[in-house]
Amino acid sequence: MSSPRLSPPAALAGPDFLWGVATASFQIEGAWATDGRLPCIWGTFCNTPGKILNGDTGEFACDHYHRYAQDVDLMAELGVDAYRLSTAWGRVMDEQGKPNHKGLDFYKRLLDRLQEKGIQRWVTLYHWDLPQYLEDRGGWLNRDTAYRFAEYADLMSRELAGRVDGWMTLNEPWCSAFLGYGNGHHAPGKANIAYVRPAMHHLLLGHGLALPALKANDPGAKRGIVANVGRGTSDSAAPEDQDAAMLYEVQHNNWVLDPLLKGHYPKALERLWPESRPLVLEGDMATISQPMDFLGINYYFRTNVRSDGKDGFVDTPLADVERTQMGWEVHPQGLQDLLVGFKAQYGDKLPPIYITENGMASDDAVGADGQVHDTQRISFLNRHFEALAGAKAKGVDIRGYFCWSLMDNFEWAFGYERRFGLVHVDYETQKRTPKDSALQLKEFLAARG
């Protein structure tokens, strides 16, 4: 049987649809103590025994800090329209809030090379690598961190003005709040459900406080945020289990999107986490719900749930379904269902959407022929492209797609075992090998004209 071919549908092949790849600073840069970069919570987490699979760390990662030019050339060779990257907060300013010009100059060189190659530059300000000194003051449990984030956004948008096509304030605040402070799976490793709603409120407040600076300092760039969303369903028709599926989506999706697009938190959070209440001051929700130019959506999987017998849900994984190396169920229809649902829920408040992450991990290796045959990834991508086309056909304004990820990298608590890249990375030699998915994406983009 022949291998699948990457074949995005015609609805995504037009000249106005943006095709990109994405990465994050801590996952690829390495050089975590170079040129004045300050320690961050993920460095601390890596150095805590038992937190990262195989004891891996992000100290070297993909050495992108030193190999950025090669990596930009690789993107140009693939023919992508855009690159979504993140900047490391601790690399660009010190504890007193003063700029670190060596760190800033790195990002300026990177962005300038992207411009030379005709690649749009989409920059995420916060992809989870909070400076450790701020965590020592309480991190996202401390309201002051939101104001420090606004200062960081002000500095970056002044320093990089004219070099950025789209600014994203936060990446996946759900992960920062819940995985970082609720269950401890991510840095800083706090595990107290009472922390989750205060942490989220301060994250979203930081987003809102940053928007005016981004607009004032770099008016030619778009401004938005990136939310990870998940489809929640139940294989049981029992009312309590259908209610559990609703609660899953409330905590995973509406917890972030309702305050941004409606100006209030969903009431059902009181059922889920009555012990976790944020201090919301007058004016906070107006700050959080300021208009944005776009909404970034990250989608990976569907979760099957049932009632926990109380006001909550429990994961009940389905048998005999396709899964990725992460153990996540492959469910492209969930992406279409969510996007169409968001259009129905938020109406005119829903800004244009970019899929800012979508992809899968697989146990990829370079074969005897020198190539990487990632057939499952190609099939995965094709089916998600069809889901996007289906959502567009139902009137959802989707402007672009960024594949996660450009290359294999440090996959947070899973270290280097899980490979999400279109490009294979040999971590011993740092050799980059485009996988079949990358080569076929190149063919599609070239044929698109």
Which has the closest alpha carbon to 102: 113, 88, 115? Answer: 88
- For residue 428, indicate whether it is catalytic: no
99 forms beta bridges with: 93
Cα dihedral: 178, 265, 126, 216 (round 10): -170
Residue 411's contacts (CB-CB under 8 Å, 6 or more residues apart) are 27, 361, 417, 418, 419, 420
Query: Please, how many CA atoms are within 13 Å of residue 407, restricted to the half-sphere of its CB?
Result: 28
- Select which of 29, 172, 357, 411 is catalytic: 357
**Cα–Cα distance, 334 to 316 (Å, whole number):** 17
- Which residues are catalytic, by number? 357
